[in-house]
């Protein structure tokens, strides 16, 4: 115990030293015109690459460089995602696999091509022999995203051609990962249940005839059962999260790591680590936590003034996590509307009717309407913001009885399609390692021999 206490004191001192000696004067960022977070002064992203995979449209740039808000659009390989979803609904079909095909190959599949691709994915969903026991059950993780990243890296050891950089081999690796991500996430969840929650663990075999959405629900539920509407809505969520341009943090990570000429598993595991972040894929959990707080502190959910008053408290850093953020509101690109939020909101209402949760849906809807005005007033700005996809995705997953620890892994189960497309694109069209500049602002110092050094007082 004495050693532990001693180590704690040492770590506390070293932590204080690190925090004290690594400040950077904020004025220097303006002096050297640093694009912090690779963002321009007007909030647009710094152009660092070209892509033919996805496009996120939320504004147009005027003649003077000003941002002109427009209704949001999400494009996959030049096609509006709304059209893909409408076509799938018209044919009463699941569409995530078609989206993955489109993102990878830049063409809409014919019926026979889609059937062939689905069959290929179905055959790849089962993990390699002994993988589940050795790589998932023997080292469970409290956070399933870390388990997912480990599963991706472990897949390298089960691949007899892991270092082959040919496009054909990388494509094979990516398709296998697209197929297996739902299995990796579901089994990681089951291991967590067993070892961290002392609950029963259910390991179902993937069904090659099922879609990704159906398989995921089948694998996480004790009885393996789900309704058609549940599977269709999860499929919609997977479609909407599959790709979001090359500039989002995790897709950029794929480009950056792939540009170093590393293997597929290293690049995708890095992307999983990025997506885990609370500023990226973990945001929908914060929305649900905020909604728990609102529901506990607002007595009448249908009373607009009560809801407005509490949202003001959140925005003024007087309630919830005191960050001043109303989670689920605002986006780096979308201004007037996030098309993903609109599409998911419509389905959320349909599911809320089936689940008897319309009161809660109307509360979400009310917050979507009130929050932009409140945030503009509190921050004294005329900048337009809208609800983003995170506002409704967590609510949908909750209605699907999906545990919160699976919210971000579901994002990864979807986004692996976009990551894979960006991986292939970087290998084909990249050709140069990413190497942005960092300005060193540390003054030169005279070296002090160790015998002359004295400890600084805190």
The residues carrying an active-site annotation are 331, 390
Residue pair 174/420 in contact (Cβ under 8 Å)? The answer is yes
Strand residues in 13-82 grouped as ranges (E): 54-61, 67-76, 79-80
187 CB neighbour count, 10 Å cutoff:
29
Helix (H) or strand (E) holding 179: helix 167-196
Q: What angle do CA 238, 58, 308 make, to 5 degrees?
A: 85
d(CA 227, CA 230): 5
DSSP annotation string for 288-324 = HHHHHHHHHH-S-TT-HHHHHHHHHHHHTTSSTTSS-
d(CA 234, CA 236): 5
d(CA 311, CA 404): 23
SS (H, E, C) 121-149: HHHHCCCCCCHHHHHHHCCCCCCHHHHHH
Kindly state the DSSP code that residue 52 receives in the 8-state scheme. Answer: S
For the chain, the residue count is: 458
d(CA 421, CA 243): 9
Query: Which residues have a Cβ under 8 Å from the Cβ of 254 and sit 6 or more positions away?
Result: 267, 268, 270, 271, 419, 422, 423, 426
């Amino acid at each position: 115990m004495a050693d532990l206490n001693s180590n704690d004191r040492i770590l506390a001192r070293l932590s204080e030293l690190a925090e004290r000696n690594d400040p950077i004067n904020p004025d220097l960022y303006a002096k050297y015109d640093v694009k912090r977070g690779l963002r321009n002064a007007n909030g647009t992203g710094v152009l660092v690459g070209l892509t033919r995979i996805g496009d996120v449209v939320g504004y147009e740039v005027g003649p003077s460089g000003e941002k002109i808000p427009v209704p949001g659009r999400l494009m996959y390989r030049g096609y509006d995602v709304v059209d893909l979803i409408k076509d799938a609904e018209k044919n009463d079909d699941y569409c995530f696999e078609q989206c993955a095909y489109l993102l990878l190959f830049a063409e809409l599949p014919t019926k026979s091509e889609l059937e062939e691709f689905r069959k290929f994915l179905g055959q790849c969903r089962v993990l390699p022999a002994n993988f589940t026991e050795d790589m998932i059950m023997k080292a469970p993780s409290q956070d399933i995203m870390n388990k997912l990243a480990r599963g991706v890296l472990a897949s390298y050891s089960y691949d007899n051609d892991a270092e082959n950089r040919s496009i054909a081999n990388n494509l094979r690796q990516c398709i296998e990962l697209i197929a297996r991500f739902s299995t990796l996430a579901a089994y990681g969840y089951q291991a967590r249940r067993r070892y961290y929650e002392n609950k029963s663990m259910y390991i179902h075999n993937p069904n090659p005839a099922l879609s990704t959405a159906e398989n995921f629900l089948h694998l996480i539920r004790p009885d393996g059962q789900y309704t058609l509407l549940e599977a269709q809505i999860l499929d919609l969520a997977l479609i909407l999260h599959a790709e979001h341009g090359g500039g989002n943090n995790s897709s950029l990570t794929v480009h950056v790591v792939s540009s170093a000429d590393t293997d597929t598993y290293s690049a995708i595991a890095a992307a999983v680590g990025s997506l885990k972040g609370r500023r990226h894929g973990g945001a929908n959990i914060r929305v649900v936590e905020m909604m728990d707080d609102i529901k506990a502190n607002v007595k009448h959910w249908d009373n607009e003034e009560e809801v407005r008053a509490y949202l003001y408290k959140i925005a003024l850093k007087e309630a919830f996590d005191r960050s001043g953020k109303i989670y689920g509101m605002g986006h780096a690109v979308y201004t007037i509307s996030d098309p993903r939020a609109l599409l998911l909101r419509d389905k959320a209402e349909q599911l809320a009717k089936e689940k008897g949760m319309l009161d809660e849906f109307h509360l979400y809807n009310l917050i979507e309407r009130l929050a932009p005005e409140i945030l503009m007033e509190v921050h004294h700005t005329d900048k337009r913001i809208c609800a983003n996809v995170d506002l409704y995705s967590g609510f949908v997953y909750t209605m699907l009885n999906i545990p919160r620890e699976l919210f971000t892994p579901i994002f990864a189960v979807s986004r692996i399609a976009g990551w894979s497309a960006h991986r292939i694109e970087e290998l084909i069209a990249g050709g140069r390692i990413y190497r942005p500049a960092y300005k060193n602002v540390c003054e030169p110092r005279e070296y002090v021999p160790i015998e002359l050094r004295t400890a600084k007082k805190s």
